[in-house]
Structure formats: C-alpha cells, structure tokens
Amino acid sequence: MRKTDGFPEGRVLFSRLARHARLRQLQLLLALQQGGSLVKAAASLDMSQSAATQALGELERVLGLRLFERHARGVRPTQAGQALIDAARGAMHELEDAAQTLAAIRLGASGALRLGAIPAASQAIVAPLVASFCVRQPQVQVDVHEGDGARLLSLLLGGGLDAVFCRQPALLPQEWVFKPLLDDAAVFLAAPGHRWAHARRLALGRLADARWILPTASIAVREIFERVVLARFPQAEWFPVSTVSLPVLEQLLAQPRAVALVPRSIAPGLGQGAGGACVLDVVMEREALRLAQLGVVHRLDGVSPRLRELLAPWPMA
C-alpha cells in the first residue's frame, strides 16, 4: 500500500505537490534548514531574498501548511516542514545520481545498471562482481547505492533501481523474486592482539569480560547478539556505539577487550586496514549463528541482459 493510500487528505496534498511544486522550491527547503535564515538560503541559491520568500510562500499556500517558523536568529522547520525536507533530500539525492548516469551516457557509456546493496552484500557479493563486470563491460555505467534494505527495496519497487542485493525479504510483491547467492552466519571478531585471538575451541564463557561493539539495531545480526550474547551475559559491557561501518569497527576493535559480532560476509573487509581483525574460534551450535542468505531481488519476468552479465561469474547465479 502506498502511503498516500492511507488518508484522502494525503492524496490531495500529493496531487498538489505534483502539480505545483518546483525543484527550486525543494532546493530552497534544504538551504533554509542548512542556513537557518532566508538571507543565507537565498544567497546560497543565487536568489534574491524576496524571490526566496515568495517561493516558500507559494509552497506553503499549495499545501495549506506552515513549513518554517521565525525565531530570534532566523527560521526553523515546523513538523510539517521537516517531513517535507526529509523527502526533498531523498529526491535531490536521487536526481544527483540520475544526473551522473546521464553524464556518463553522454560521454559514451552504452547504458546503466543501478544496484542497491546492504553493507554485507556490498562487501561479499557486489564488490567482486562489479570489479569483474567493469573489465568485461567498460562502457556500462554502474551505480551502486549502499544502505538499509527496506529503503533500497522501496526504491527498487518504485523503479529507481534494477536490482537489490540483500537478505531474503519477508514479503515481496508477486512480480518480484529473491534469488539466493551466499550463505551467511554471525562470527565473533577481535583484534589480532586480543588475548583470545589464537585460542582454539574457545568457550563463549571466556568472553564474559569482553567489551562489545553493538551491531546496528536494524540488521539481522543484532537479534543474534541479543539472543546469544546478552542472554549469556546480561551485564555485558559495550561501547556507546552501534555500527557496521568497517572503519569504525576496526578502530573500536583496537581498544582493550573489544569484541564484535558481525556477519561473516563483512569480516574479510576488516582485515585490510592497519589494525585488521581475526575471527575468534568460539564453540557454538552452527544454527544459533545462522543468518538469512544473501541474494538478489529482481523482477520475476526475467533478468535484464546487463544484470545477467553481472551475475554470470557467481557460482550460485
């Protein structure tokens, strides 16, 4: 269900935006939030202050909502304004990406392949496939968008991407299909100098004094962390950070007693920096650490020739 299907008023406001809103007004919203005043926003867009005031007023009249309120030092977005700013930022990012693709086509690219990937799939699947594809098809522009699976799938279903590399979604519309490409599981990581780095058959209890790096709440390995680690160590100590960023993980793993639970699919990327990381040989039932397979979501009615060429070297493709 589209969000505008929820309330009749939503359909009305969407219709007004589609008919009357201009890209310049969306740019103005972003500049107002960043600059905090009409004077700064107008200057950053090479507009006069009166033109900026008029453009904002027109948009507010179209919606029948106040988007900014004045205060002693300038303006700040209202709740309605912030909601539209968030949408405008996403729209402008997508247009910037589209402009890069169009520029590549103008400069001789024979076409484009737009891919989305969650971090685990980007590291384990997309990176090697794209590197190989660019050697075989140097005239095809490849755009890779890394991010949250839910957002990427929304872009895919809306036509903004050709395929998304992610874990198997719980539900897909019937015209889309998920093809598994790689098994995955959670692993325990530590720095090479950690006291247990080279231990064999390490019991989980040995990590009772570890300081944990929390997985981001939105990813599948967080549920395993809570079920396996926190259930065993309810008083566990952790860093005030939750992340799957490889540079951040590597820096934190260099701290005393630091241990992380991460998807095995991203672990190789942590061995490339100066500090590196190693997988701890923790004795656990394999099923307890199993993650959903990584794979690709594409249209059921057939893989495009470019996507088929991209996937060709993959053993399970």
pLDDT of the residue at 287: 92
Tell me the average pLDDT of the chain.
87
Residue type for position 247: P
pLDDT of the residue at 188: 96
Task: Give 153-181 pLDDT, tens digit per residue.
Answer: 988 988 889 999 999 998 899 899 999 99
pLDDT of the residue at 107: 58
pLDDT of the residue at 2: 44
Structure tokens at 80: 């309605």
Whether pLDDT at 64 is above 60: yes
Instruction: Assign 160 to helix, strand or coil.
Output: coil
**Cβ-count burial 109-120 (b if 16+ within 10 Å, e if not):** beebbbbbbbbb
| Of 94-98, 194-198, 307-311, the least confident | 94-98
Architecture of domain 3-92: Orthogonal Bundle (1.10)
pLDDT of the residue at 94: 73
Instruction: Let me know if the fold of 3-92 is the same as that of 185-292.
Output: no
**Cβ-count burial 218-249 (b if 16+ within 10 Å, e if not):** ebbbbebbeebbeeebeebebeeebbbebeeb
Task: Give 69-94 pLDDT, tens digit per residue.
Answer: 988 888 999 999 998 998 888 788 77
Rounded to whole angstroms, the Cα distance separating 20 from 60 reads 11
Structure tokens at 45: 């867009």
Arithmetic mean of pLDDT, 107-132: 85
Domain residue extents for the chain? 3-92, 107-182+293-311, 185-292
Structure tokens at 75: 């303006």
Which of the two residues, 1 and 151, has the higher pLDDT score? Answer: 151
Looking at CATH, the fold of the domain delimited by 185-292 is given as D-Maltodextrin-Binding Protein; domain 2 (3.40.190)
Report the candidate in 261, 265, 266 with the shortest Cα–Cα distance to residue 284. Answer: 261
Q: Compute φ and ψ for 287, nearest 5 degrees.
A: -65, -30
Whether pLDDT at 1 is above 70: no
Indicate the pLDDT class of residue 119, thresholds 50, 70 and 90.
Answer: confident
pTM over 0.85: no
Indicate the pLDDT class of residue 317, thresholds 50, 70 and 90.
Answer: low
pLDDT of the residue at 106: 65
Report the candidate in 265, 261, 268 with the shortest Cα–Cα distance to residue 282. Answer: 261
Task: Give 219-273 pLDDT, tens digit per residue.
Answer: 889 999 999 999 999 999 999 988 878 888 889 999 999 999 999 998 877 765 4
Task: Give 127-151 pLDDT, tens digit per residue.
Answer: 999 999 999 988 888 889 888 888 8
* Start-to-end C-alpha separation, the chain: 31
Q: CATH for 107-182+293-311? A: 3.40.190.10
Whether pLDDT at 101 is above 80: no
Whether pLDDT at 211 is above 90: yes
